């Protein structure tokens, strides 16, 4: 009863001003006052959109906004007079657009309201709701263990705080695949002296991580599934794994060098053998002048293994020499 009495008293004040206008129309006209649901963000301006649907001319006398849970209006403004109530509220326009602006939104502004408008063609009341939200801070990511073994187990964490109402967290790999179904989301709701917030924490578990999936993206969505923040997380591989990989590469390089070295040594040996053979052949050829000196008409060194004819001739020469020596004796 007290709420209605306060609203009635305010209306009486406004109507009293209306009655002072000589051009006021006492007959009810067909017109409507409409207000849209309003969503405000903590710490930012919020516009409460209301307008009059009427094809003719009219004149606004005054407006008032009242929270249904409070006795007195939070804001009232009789045209051409100083507004009263919460100074954060103001009337945006005085034509058909009778929207209000809330300069600095706080959580206590959330609730159901009645917006009263008095004109020279009558008065109307419309109900509206103000919802208050808070944006999440940029998410923070981490992993356990910090240094990850490729193919080993790992838990990825993403935390976002100071948001309201509760939102959600999604996970994506570098190719855009959504891994959220494998994650667990927890929500911690806080309400301290009317200041509300929800802390989101998501854990994505891999029993066997494939490092090629990295980096991962942690995306924070508000209660209306609109993205409010995103962080990219690159997993850190263990130093041992890197050393193993480096050692493997070093072993491959050493093996390659050894193979190349063996081939080079073999080639050098073959060249050395061929050179030695050529030298031997050259030495054999150099003995030919000596044979010509002692055995005229002979042009080649006898080959004890293969040149049978040459060996026979040499034997004959030796025999003749022995016969001549015997006859002299």
Give the C-alpha separation, 91 to 142, whole Å: 48
DSSP 107: G
The string of pLDDT tens digits covering residues 260-271 is 656 566 666 566
**pLDDT higher at 94 or 99:** 99
pLDDT confidence band for 299 (50 / 70 / 90) = very low
Instruction: Return the number of other C-beta atoms located less than 10 Å from residue 121's C-beta.
Output: 22
Q: So what's the pLDDT on residue 253?
A: 54
Do the domains at 2-133 and 140-237 have one common CATH topology? yes
What are residue 60's DSSP bridge partners?
119
Residue 258 burial by Cβ neighbours in a 10 Å radius (0-12, 13-18, 19+): exposed
pLDDT value at residue 275:
65
**pLDDT surpasses 50 at 25:** no
d(CA 183, CA 73): 47
3-state SS of 192-250 is ECCEEEEEEEEEEEECCCCHHHCCEEEEEECCCCCEEEEEEECCEECHHHHHHHHHHHH
* The domain made up of 140-237 is a member of CATH 2.60.40.10: yes
Query: What integer is the mean pLDDT of 2-16?
Result: 47
Q: Which is higher by pLDDT, 149 or 270?
A: 149
pLDDT digits (tens, 9 = 90+) for 52-94: 999 888 899 999 999 999 999 999 999 889 999 999 999 987 7
Domain boundaries, the chain: 2-133, 140-237, 243-282, 287-323
- pLDDT tens, residue by residue, 102-112: 999 999 999 99
Choices 3.30.465.10, 2.60.40.10, 3.40.50.800, 3.20.20.20: CATH for 2-133: 2.60.40.10
Distance of CA 142 to CAs 139, 146, 229, 308, Å?
10, 7, 16, 94
Model pLDDT, residue 194: 81
User: What is the number of H-type helices and E-type strands within the chain?
Assistant: 4, 20
């Amino acid at each position: 009863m007290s709420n209605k009495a306060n609203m009635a008293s305010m209306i009486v004040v406004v109507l009293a001003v209306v009655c002072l206008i000589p051009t006021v129309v006492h007959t009810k006209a067909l017109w409507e006052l409409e207000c849209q649901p309003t969503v405000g963000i903590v710490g930012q301006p919020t516009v409460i959109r209301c307008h009059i649907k009427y094809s003719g001319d009219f004149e606004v006398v005054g407006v008032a906004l009242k929270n249904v849970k409070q006795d007195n209006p939070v804001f009232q403004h009789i045209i051409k007079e100083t507004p009263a109530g919460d100074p954060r509220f103001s009337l945006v326009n005085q034509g058909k657009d009778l929207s209000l602006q809330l300069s600095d939104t706080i959580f206590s502004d959330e609730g159901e309201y009645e917006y009263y408008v008095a004109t020279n063609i009558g008065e109307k009341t419309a109900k509206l709701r103000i919802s208050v939200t808070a944006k999440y801070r940029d998410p923070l990511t981490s992993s356990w263990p910090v240094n990850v073994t490729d193919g080993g187990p790992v838990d990825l964490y993403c935390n976002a705080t100071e948001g309201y109402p509760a939102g959600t967290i999604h996970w994506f790999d570098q190719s855009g695949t959504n891994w959220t179904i494998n994650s667990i989301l927890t929500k911690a709701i806080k309400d301290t002296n009317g200041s509300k917030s929800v802390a989101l924490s998501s854990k994505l578990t891999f029993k066997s991580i494939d490092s090629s999936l990295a980096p991962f993206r942690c995306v924070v969505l508000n209660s209306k599934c609109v993205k409010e923040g995103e962080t990219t997380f690159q997993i850190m591989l263990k130093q041992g794994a890197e050393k193993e990989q480096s050692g493997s590469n070093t072993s491959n390089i050493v093996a390659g060098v050894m193979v190349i070295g063996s081939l080079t040594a073999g080639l050098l040996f073959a060249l050395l053998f061929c050179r030695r053979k050529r030298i031997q052949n050259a030495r054999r050829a150099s003995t030919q002048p000596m044979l010509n000196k002692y055995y005229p008409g002979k042009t080649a060194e006898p080959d004890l293994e293969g040149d049978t004819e040459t060996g026979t001739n040499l034997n004959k020469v030796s025999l003749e020499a022995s016969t001549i020596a015997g006859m002299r004796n």
